[in-house]
Structure 1
Amino acid sequence: MRKTLLAASALAAATLFSAPAFAQDSAPGGFRVGVIGGLDIVRPGDSEDSRVRGDDQSIEGALYGIEAGYDIPLGGAILGIEGEFSGSTAKVTTDSSDPNFFGYGRVKAGRDLYVGARLGFEAASGTLVYAKGGYTNARLDVTADNGTSTRDENFQLDGWRLGAGVEKSIGTNTYAKLEYRYSNYTNADFQFANGAVTDTFDIDTDRHQIVAGVGFRF
């Protein structure tokens, strides 16, 4: 499934960015900032798959966020570092009477932090194809409501992310992009409302995202 999604998003990116672009002598470089949005799917990984009424579980929603990075041009290629802060509307909407629901209980996707590197090459004038990878730290916010009060508790997840995408120049110092990312979270702790934090424990949680973005280079 992961390979299929990656291939599909790469094909979509190539189609979307097939319009003529401004010519460039080399791959773009320097500081950049942008905004992103797209589809966010979080689900238990293969080793932790939980089922309710026979259906695999996932939470889906809209991803939104900001990003910043710095690219070093290497002729027709770039090597860059980047960071991202994003949120998501993905959440559990089913009754959580089953304590094994989603492997956590009743949850909503919280903030997601990412820092990593990317390597790309200029496939055509103004068109950059790239791969990326790095560290991601995410939260799953737990909804604990007894009818009179709601407790603010969360799981904090650590893991890694891999992705690929296409970036297209759309004007002087501006660009648009489309990418697919897969994240896997392997460690977590639980943070109580009173500030107490559990020891780190092993998990297996997957995240699939298809993201579009626009940005500006300095």
Structure 2
Amino acid sequence: MKSITFFIASAVLCFVSAPAFAQDYAPFTGAHAEIITGYDVVDAKGVKSADGLLYGLNAGYDFARGGLILGIEGEISDSTTRLHVAGGKSETHRDLYVGGRIGVPLGSKALAYVKAGYSNARMEYEASDGEGGLIRGGDNGDGLRLGAGLEYRIAEKLFLKGEYRYSDYEAGVSRHQLVTGIGLRF
């Protein structure tokens, strides 16, 4: 709950000064695609958290409205994160995301934004059946993703980004991710 409160307070502070920074928002509009990578931490109720490498692709479209940048985006990613428990293991696999973001231009080079949307993660597990055999299976978890980040334009159509995001899935599974990306605007 403290993380969500901190996230909301940060978002409100970010948007208080939106009109002052909204002079030059054209560089942050249009279609974009990017390659992402980062640090992934998965927490499951009753299991020690595990971490790994996140990698994937993100694409979306942003437009200006009233001094703000509004956008939609989709992402597909995967992770090397593996949870080990007594008698078995669980592996994270693909994570699908679709959501929106609201940004505030910080001059002509940087965009601060917050995001929210739907995430669906695939988990596969393997455990001992107690008789020397293995039980294998998998499940998809639906969840809510919240995040905040900064996009920085390094050339006319080339940008870098950094973001933190939190995803809360069913059955007590959650994720904290620090993500970097490099992308192009079209």
TM-score interval, normalised by the smaller of the two chains: 0.7 to 0.9
> Which ranges of structure 1 fall in alignment gaps of 5 or more residues?
7-23, 52-56, 98-104, 187-202
Equivalent position SS for 2:53: strand
1:122 partnered with 2:118: no
Would you identify which runs of 4 or more consecutive aligned residues in structure 1 move more than 4 Å? 3-6, 148-152
Q: Which has the higher strand share?
A: 2
CA distance in 2, matches of 1:183, 1:206: 6
- 1:135-168: per-residue Cα shift (whole Å, max 9, x none)? 000011113578x997752121001000000000
1:133 partnered with 2:116: yes
Match of 1:167 in 2: 151
Match of 1:50 in 2: 46
Aligned mate of 1:73, from 64, 73, 80? 64
TM-score (norm. length: structure 1): 0.69
CA distance in 2, matches of 1:214, 1:5: 27
In structure 2, what residue type is equivalent to 1:29? Answer: T
Match of 1:158 in 2: 142
Match of 1:30 in 2: 30
How much does 1:3 deviate?
Answer: 6.6
Give the number of equivalent residue pairs.
Answer: 169
RMSD, aligned α-carbons: 2.7
CA distance in 1, matches of 2:162, 2:168: 20
TM-score (norm. length: structure 2): 0.81
In structure 2, what residue type is equivalent to 1:170? Answer: I
In structure 1, what residue type is equivalent to 2:118? Answer: Y
CA distance in 2, matches of 1:125, 1:149: 60
